[in-house]
Chains A and B, each alone.
Chain A
Amino acid sequence: MKIAIASGKGGTGKTTLSTNLASLIAESTAVVLTDLDVEEPNSGLFLDGKLIHHEDKFKMIPEWNKTNCTLCGKCQEVCNFNAVMKLGEMILVFPELCHGCYACSELCPENSLPMIPKKMGELKHFKLPNLDFIESKLIIGEEQAVPLIGQTIKYIDDRFTETEFKIFDSPPGTSCPVIEATKDADLILLVTEPTPFGLHDLQLAVETMKELKKAYGVIINRFGIGDTKIEQYCVENNIPIIAKIPNSRKIAELYSAGKLLYNELPEVKIELEKVIKFIQKYQEEIV
């Protein structure tokens, strides 16, 4: 079963939940956690695993071969992303802008733009007891997160067919990377905080999940700090509130040092157990 952890707003505690939840599940069941926030992956900062595999991830981009090129400029003309440009007697390719559609390459009358692999990021696979952790990181300047997210999900799909729980830490927001990261998930856990910003961004996230026709529930982080409007909103819209992780300075301190919470804070562990129960119950329902 695939569980995606998402939120409209950044900084609500997605990574905190992902890492703590995965680690707690791993105490009894094998679990794989994947950080799909490839622009700013952070989960790895909280998990001290052994690196067992490391691979570069590539996308296909055109490379100019000047031998037969007649400088006709067709490549530049067909590119919708300004990624190929004729400059004087040269053809320049901007790898970060290229979406890999192959149009310039395949429509070139002289086959002067063969597609070659170009590194866009790297994937690392770490091993902890009962827990596999995978993260991908985009090269700075690379503009498209979606292909790397897609390839990372494929890495999981190919290798973890038997693993019961697959948790995905998604990027924030409601734009394409989030859709790519959540579209295959069976269940989405939306993390929010009880503040006006949290509520506003949760509403956006909920709309996205509705559009994707996904099952979802809400986890309120920093519970007790703001107001009760999130709870009202969830009740009015029949959205299950799965758990409420309390607000405390101690949590902020542990987080800042890259430490997991539930061993030191039983009140957090209780809430994480509620999340696990919710997942198990959902799993029974869909089977």
Chain B
Amino acid sequence: MKILLTAKGTEWDSQMDPRFGRTEFFFIYNDETEKVETFDNRAIENEAHGAGPKTAQKMAEFGVNVLITGNGPGGNADTVVRQTGTKVFVGAGSMTVKEAYDAYKKGDLKEA
């Protein structure tokens, strides 16, 4: 299963990015292969409008099953995320990536 965490960096101890649409990086963990993949999403800064759906589209390309973030995607991005069948967990905005993953594993994060 692929789990995407919105992050401010590319390490397990990087801070989470609470934003979905304008998140700086994707931190993608595959818990079957135990491999980590990252994606630099910072070009999204150049979008005046519609950052959310664009990021969601990118996420879909990675074929992730679970999204862990801070506040959760806004309306349009949410539409895309739902289309892809990805499960969304929120409330991890001020954790590190590792903490967020552990919290998710323990069932401490709220499913949105």
Interface residues in chain A, defined as those with a beta carbon under 8 Å from any beta carbon in chain B: 81-83, 85-88, 90, 92, 94, 96-97, 141, 143
A87-B57, A88-B60, A141-B75 given; A81·B80 CB < 8 A = no
Hey, which chain A residues are within 8 Å of B79, CB to CB? Answer: 92, 94
What 0/1 readout, one digit per residue, does chain B (41-85) give for beta carbons within 8 Å of chain A?
Answer: 000000101110110010010000000000000011001100110
B50 partner, pick from A86, A90, A94, A141, beta carbons under 8 A: A94
A81 partner, pick from B49, B83, B84, beta carbons under 8 A: B49
Looking across the interface, which residue of chain B has its beta carbon closest to that of A144?
A: B49
Interface residues in chain B, defined as those with a beta carbon under 8 Å from any beta carbon in chain A: 47, 49-51, 53-54, 57, 60, 75-76, 79-80, 83-84
B50 and A81 contacting across the interface, CB-CB below 8 Å: yes
Hey, which chain A residues are within 8 Å of B76, CB to CB? Answer: 94, 96-97
A85 partner, pick from B47, B49, B57, B75, beta carbons under 8 A: B57
Looking across the interface, which residue of chain A has its beta carbon closest to that of B48?
A: A81
Hey, which chain B residues are within 8 Å of A83, CB to CB? Answer: 50
Can you offer 19 A-B residue contacts whose CB atoms are under 8 A? A81-B50, A82-B47, A82-B49, A82-B51, A82-B53, A82-B54, A85-B54, A85-B57, A87-B84, A88-B83, A88-B84, A90-B83, A92-B53, A92-B79, A94-B50, A94-B53, A94-B76, A94-B79, A97-B76
Q: How far is the CB of A103 from chain B (nearest CB, A)?
A: 15
Hey, which chain A residues are within 8 Å of B54, CB to CB? Answer: 82, 85
CA distance A90 to B84 in the complex (A): 11
Given A82-B47, A94-B53, A96-B75, 14 more pairs with CB closer than 8 A: A81-B50, A82-B50, A82-B51, A85-B53, A85-B54, A85-B57, A87-B83, A88-B83, A92-B80, A92-B83, A94-B50, A94-B79, A96-B76, A97-B49
Interface of A is mostly: loop
Interface of B is mostly: helix
Q: How far is the CB of A118 from chain B (nearest CB, A)?
A: 14
CA distance A83 to B51 in the complex (A): 10
Looking across the interface, which residue of chain A has its beta carbon closest to that of B55?
A: A82
Looking across the interface, which residue of chain A has its beta carbon closest to that of B51?
A: A82
Looking across the interface, which residue of chain A has its beta carbon closest to that of B77?
A: A94
Hey, which chain A residues are within 8 Å of B51, CB to CB? Answer: 82
Hey, which chain A residues are within 8 Å of B60, CB to CB? Answer: 87-88
Looking across the interface, which residue of chain A has its beta carbon closest to that of B50?
A: A82
CA distance A85 to B58 in the complex (A): 11
Q: How far is the CB of A229 from chain B (nearest CB, A)?
A: 35
Q: How far is the CB of A195 from chain B (nearest CB, A)?
A: 32
Looking across the interface, which residue of chain B has its beta carbon closest to that of A76?
A: B57
Hey, which chain B residues are within 8 Å of A85, CB to CB? Answer: 53-54, 57, 80
CA distance A81 to B57 in the complex (A): 14
Most buried by A among B50, B51, B53, B57: B50
CA distance A82 to B54 in the complex (A): 7
Looking across the interface, which residue of chain A has its beta carbon closest to that of B76?
A: A94
3 interchain residue pairs of minimum CB distance:
A82-B50, A97-B50, A94-B76
B53 and A97 contacting across the interface, CB-CB below 8 Å: yes
Q: How far is the CB of B44 from chain A (nearest CB, A)?
A: 10
Looking across the interface, which residue of chain B has its beta carbon closest to that of A88?
A: B60
Q: How far is the CB of B32 from chain A (nearest CB, A)?
A: 22
Q: How far is the CB of A156 from chain B (nearest CB, A)?
A: 29
Hey, which chain B residues are within 8 Å of A141, CB to CB? Answer: 75
Hey, which chain B residues are within 8 Å of A86, CB to CB? Answer: 57
Most buried by A among B60, B76, B83, B84: B76
